[in-house]
């Protein structure tokens, strides 16, 4: 099983600044990685797929990068609505055995 490790567990950033979230895979997942945002009481929502492609309607301040085992989600000019939980997910295997990271909580500093 591919294990995804997200860091940090909690990230405190001030509005208007940038945030960098990391996701490391225990083995290569190529570019088959997605990022999700989850707000309290809500379902996760897709932000990024293919490691760097923004999902429909996602603002350009969200960007993803990386391949292989190291991935980054960068959020620039943080808005109040961006403070939430963020999860990465790999989907590199067939038959599917998709796995998620444990999440990073982005909180207001």
Partner 1 sequence: EVELVESGGGLVQPGGSLRLSCAASGFTFSDYWMSWVRQTPGKGLEWVATIKKDGSEKYYVDSVKGRFTISRDNAKNSLYVQMNSLRAEDTAVYYCARARHYDILIGFYSDYWGQGTLVSVSS
Q: Applying CB under 8 A, which residues contact partner 1?
A: 32, 34, 42-46, 49-50, 55-56, 87, 89-103
CB nearer partner 1, residue 25 or residue 78? 25
What span, in angstroms and rounded, lies between the C-alpha atoms of 3 and 99?
Answer: 7
- Report the C-alpha gap between 12 and 3 in whole angstroms: 25
Q: Could you tell me the smallest distance in angstroms from the CB atom of residue 82 to partner 1?
A: 19
Distance CA 95, CA 109 (A): 42
Shortest Cβ 77–partner 1 spacing (Å): 25
Report the C-alpha gap between 53 and 35 in whole angstroms. 10
Residue among 29 and 78 whose Cβ is closer to partner 1: 29
- Smallest gap from Cβ 92 to partner 1, in A, equals 6
């Amino acid at each position: 099983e591919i294990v995804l490790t997200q860091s940090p567990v909690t990230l405190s950033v001030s509005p208007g600044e940038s945030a960098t979230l990391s996701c490391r895979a225990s083995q290569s997942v190529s570019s088959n990685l997605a990022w999700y945002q989850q707000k309290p009481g809500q379902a996760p929502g897709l932000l990024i797929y293919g490691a760097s492609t923004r999902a429909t309607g996602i603002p350009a301040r969200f960007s993803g990068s990386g391949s292989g085992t190291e991935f980054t989600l960068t959020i620039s000019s943080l808005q109040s609505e961006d403070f939430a939980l963020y999860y990465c997910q790999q989907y590199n295997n067939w038959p599917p055995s998709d796995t998620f990271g444990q999440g990073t909580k982005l909180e207001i500093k």
